[in-house]
Amino acid sequence: MQVSSWVVRAPASPMSRESREESAGAGEVIVQVAGCGVCHTDLGFFYDGVPTRHPFPLTLGHEISGIVVEAGPAAEGWLGKAAVVPAVLPCGACAACRAGRGQVCPKQIFPGNDVHGGFATHVRLPARGLCAVPDLADPALNPGGVELADLSVVADAISTPYQAIVRSGLDAGDLAVFVGAGGVGGFGIQVAAAMGAAVVAIDVSTARLGQAAAHGAALTIEPSAMDVKELRKQVKAFAESRGIPTWRTKIFEASGTPKGQATAFALLGHGGYLSVVGYTPQAVELRLSNLMAFDATAQGNWGCLPEHYPAIVDLVLGGKVALGPFVERRPLASINDVFAELHGGGVTRRFVLIPESAS
């Protein structure tokens, strides 16, 4: 299989389009990419010196959807099927996987990190863990007319906050506070609202807050003109108006910034829960004794186990999580311009890159 992909040879240097041959081995498939979303993590690899496990040269991209066009031995059943590729593919056989901790599987495959990723016409991956997509041409299964390329964002932008929400134990009537309402945070807001939570969105972007208010957030706060005490006061007043105690409050840090992480930690109350979903390579100074004093919990979240993906696809196809207002397609050939635009900040949508062969 001839593959054309955009390759990073040096950090922050323009990616170049290159060709290579790929063939599916045992248990592997080759997916013709319909779309690949651009994630904050990709920018970290490209601009910020966040190390990839496979050294450069490397093709980035881990939010992938497409059609299986080649299947190796023991994977033939996938041939011709549409799929979303999980951003983290555990091996399924190691001690961690057998214990239900596939998130920390030492043999996991992260496309665009461990192996070549989805900023390409095709990508070769393990078949294990792929999420089959139902017939999108069937109005009964896809009443909103969602397209396969746009489902690429399920692979991280939606699945990562979904798993974080599930692990938090969020119930209907709980309070979900999202620090950071763009990207992962914006989709997390929709998922939490779909699960029946009262949602607060905190972000410095009024545009992102407007999107959040239209898609699940009952309260939006732009915090730049207030101190943490005032922010806590506003969140507390909202919770009290709904009769929600602090021990039913789940905070999700999705900004991936030092200030956002410090803010999220400062919002913890008695019995509260903090999920760290965003990533920054910068250090944050916190008083960890708050966890002891408040009997609170803080937990990180890495990716999403493949077994959660079918439920997430159902949420999207069922209209519980909207993609259209949050996704913008761009040609894959514009990848260098897209990375520069995202690096400059102010973008409110998730860019999905479409290979020329799929456009």
pLDDT tens for 316-326 read: 999 999 999 99
- 359 pLDDT higher than 80: no
Q: Based on the fold, state whether residues 251 and 214 are members of the same structural domain.
A: yes
SS3 4: strand
User: Is the predicted pLDDT of residue 261 greater than 90, yes or no?
Assistant: yes
Question: What is the rounded average pLDDT of the residues 277-287?
Answer: 92
- Express each pLDDT in 214-258 by its tens digit: 999 999 999 999 999 999 999 999 999 999 999 999 999 999 999
Residue that has been written with the tokens 């972007």 in this structure? 205
Query: Which residues are within 8 A (CB) of 186 and not within 5 positions of it... i.e. 6 or more apart?
Result: 208, 211, 212, 215, 326
77 and 172 fall within a common domain: no
- Alpha-carbon Rg for the chain in angstroms: 20
Domain that holds residue 84: 2-155+304-358
Same domain, 6 and 148: yes
Are 283 and 179 found together in one domain? yes
250 and 333 share a domain?
no
Residue 209 sits in the same domain as residue 263 = yes
Among left, alpha and beta (phi > 0; psi -120 to 50; other), residue 232 is: alpha
Helices (H) and strands (E) in the chain, counts: 10, 15
Give pTM, 2 decimals.
0.95
Measured on CA atoms in the order 131, 132, 137, 142, is the torsion positive or negative?
negative
Q: Which of 285, 300, 315 is the last residue of a domain?
A: 300
pLDDT at 358 over 60: no
333 in the same domain as 274: no
Number of domains in the chain: 2
Boundary of a domain, candidates 256, 274, 300? 300
Residue showing tokens 């900004």: 255
Domain holding 73: CATH number?
A: 3.90.180.10
**108 and 166 inside one domain:** no
Structure confidence at residue 303 (pLDDT): 94
- In the three-class reduction of DSSP (H, G, I as helix; E, B as strand; rest coil), residue 303 is classed as coil
Cβ atoms within 10 Å, residue 5:
27
Mean pLDDT, the chain, whole residue set = 96
Mean pLDDT value across residues 126-136: 97
User: How confident is the model at residue 357, as a pLDDT?
Assistant: 67
Question: Could you tell me the pLDDT band of residue 281, with boundaries at 50, 70 and 90?
Answer: confident
CA atoms of 87 and 31, how far apart (whole Å): 14
The number of C-alpha atoms within 13 Å of 21 and in the hemisphere containing its C-beta is 1
* Residue 345: predicted pLDDT: 87
The answer on 320 and 204 residing in a single domain is no
Q: Which of 300, 325, 344 is the last residue of a domain?
A: 300
Helix (H) or strand (E) holding 338: helix 335-344
- Cα–Cα distance for residue pair 202/246, rounded to 1 Å: 17
Cα–Cα dist 248/270, whole Å: 9
DSSP β-ladder status, 198-202 and 175-179: parallel
Taking only the tens place, the pLDDT of each residue in 145-183 is 999 999 999 999 999 999 999 999 999 999 999 999 999
Name 338's Cβ contacts closer than 8 Å, sequence gap at least 6: 38, 330, 351, 353
Instruction: Enter the tokens of residue 70.
Output: 């080649």
Residue 84: which residues within 8 A CB-CB, separation 6 or more?
A: 64, 65, 130, 131, 133, 151, 152, 154, 155, 309, 313
pLDDT at 35 over 60: yes
Residues 44 and 56 occupy one common structural domain? yes
Q: Which CATH number goes with the domain that contains 216?
A: 3.40.50.720
Measure the CA–CA gap between 84 and 73, rounded to whole angstroms.
20
CA separation for the pair 57, 209 (Å, rounded): 38
The answer to whether residue 98 scores a pLDDT higher than 70 is: yes
232 and 350 share one domain: no
Are 138 and 173 members of one domain?
no
Amino acid at site 290: N
Instruction: Tell whether the model's pLDDT for residue 207 goes beyond 70.
Output: yes
Taking a C-beta distance cutoff of 8 angstroms, is the pair 195, 169 a contact? no
